[in-house]
C-alpha cells in the first residue's frame, strides 16, 4: 500500500480510502436510508480484497 503525508501533521495516511458513511443506515438520523447489514459487510469485504 502506498502512503502520503497528511498536510503538515506528520501523519502518514493511505492513498486509498473507503467512504462508509452510507453503511450506517437510518439508525443515526442522517443517511441515505436503511441498508442491510449483510450487504454492508459484503461491501467492506470486497473493498479489502
Q: What DSSP line would sit under 1-49, residue for residue? A: --EEE-TTS--EEES-----GGGGGGGGS-SS----HHHHHHHHHHHH-
What residues does 4 pair with on adjacent strands? 13
Confidence (pLDDT) at 7: 96
Decide if 33 is inside a domain: yes
Q: What is the number of structural domains in the chain?
A: 1
Decide if 24 is inside a domain: yes
Domain that holds residue 23: 18-49
Confidence (pLDDT) at 15: 92
Verdict on whether the full-model pTM lies above 0.75: no
Decide if 47 is inside a domain: yes
Confidence (pLDDT) at 13: 94
pLDDT at residue 21 greater than cutoff 90: no
Higher pLDDT, 31 or 8: 8
pLDDT at residue 35 greater than cutoff 70: yes
Decide if 6 is inside a domain: no
Amino acid at each position: 500500500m502506498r502512503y502520503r503525508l497528511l498536510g503538515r501533521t506528520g501523519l502518514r495516511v493511505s492513498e486509498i480510502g473507503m467512504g462508509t458513511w452510507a453503511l450506517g443506515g437510518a439508525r443515526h438520523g442522517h443517511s441515505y436510508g436503511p441498508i442491510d447489514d449483510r450487504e454492508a459487510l459484503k461491501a467492506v469485504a470486497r473493498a479489502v480484497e
